[in-house]
Amino acid sequence: MLLQIALSDISGGIFLGGWETAALTALLVSFGIIALAFAIGIGFGYRELEEWAKNEMYEIFISGLIVGTLIGLINIIFAMSINLAGGNPLEIASSNVSSMILETNGLFLTLLQYNLYLGALSTLKFSFFVPIPIIPPVVFLVIRIGSFVSPWAGLGALMSGVDSVFNVLGAMIAALLVEQVLLSFIKLVILKYFLPLGILMRTFSITRVAGGTLIAIAIGAYIIYPLAVIYSWNVYSQFKAVSTPGNPGDPAGHMILENIKWDIKDTINTLTPILKNFVIIGITFFLSIIITFSSIRSLAGALGGDPDLFGLARLI
């Protein structure tokens, strides 16, 4: 009966997507397993099984305390966030990452404009030839001797630098997309599945360490990571550079020998904010990961889990 209620309500809930029902159901299942083992121990005189069940009841109590505290804590944090900021931390963090992606795409379009301009000029060629007539007795022939000139071929070196900055922009957008996908994964999966699985695994001594680790990962990812992303957004908003591209010119106009008015400051004004924002986004991205992993390691140690996080902690 409880399992049917949990499955029907797993996508509902006040703030948290119905994960409370799944967590409480997992807790009741754990309690039922221990109670059944205790009854079998008494009924069949298995003293060791009875003692094991008594000892495991303490762990069930700890799991219940964890679930109860987590429900109260997250509901309080999310309710305060909704009242003060208009959304829960996951929604705010996702919105902030979307804003950074939008601004980065704007820089990409600005750089693309310069790349088109430089590409048109650096590959522009003017051909010329000198006809030399040859008048044999029978057939009239003309030999053409000529060459071509690329007056702005030197801009090709600048294009190489712009191409390198395109790679930087790609890394920036990739990091932001990873954050966005990770936030969506955490919102949809982490508490609905990781937390109940961790509670069930804490029921048995052989899987208790793994269960405590999964609970720590669920708590850290659902609470700490969005707050770290919001902090990263505040840092980015305070120190980000604003692009001032200037006027790169009209490539089509230059092709008809219009005067070129080139100011290297325009290019610098385009590349500088891209590189500066790349440094800021890179630092805040790794800072969010480090804060989250450090919090999960501390929680895992407190919950009897593996502080090494199954070897993932070695990455940082």
| Distant-in-sequence, close-in-space partners of 276: CB < 8 Å, separation ≥ 6 | 240, 241
Backbone angles phi, psi at 284, to 5 degrees: -70, -30
pLDDT band at 134 (very low <50, low <70, confident <90, very high): low
- Read off the pLDDT of residues 61-119 as tens digits, 9 standing for 90 and up: 888 888 888 888 888 888 888 888 788 899 999 999 998 888 888 777 777 777 777 77
Q: Where are the domains of the chain?
A: 1-85, 88-124+151-315
- Read off the pLDDT of residues 250-303 as tens digits, 9 standing for 90 and up: 444 444 444 455 555 666 666 777 778 888 888 888 889 888 888 888 888 888
Instruction: Give the 3-state secondary structure of residue 31.
Output: helix
Mean pLDDT, rounded, for 146-163: 73
Tokens, residue 187: 């919102």
Contact assessment for residue 30 and residue 200, using Cβ atoms and an 8 Å cutoff: yes
CA-based nearest residue to 97, from 282, 240, 229:
229
Contact assessment for residue 251 and residue 120, using Cβ atoms and an 8 Å cutoff: yes
pTM: 0.74
CB-based burial, 233-269: b 16+ in 10 Å, e otherwise: beebeeebbebebeebbebeebeeeeeeeeeeebbeb
Q: The tokens 């993932």 sit on which residue?
A: 312
Tokens, residue 80: 């305060």
Tokens, residue 149: 């000139």
Any idea which of 11-25, 33-47, 176-190, 254-268 has the lowest mean pLDDT?
Answer: 254-268
The Cα 193–Cα 199 span in angstroms is 10
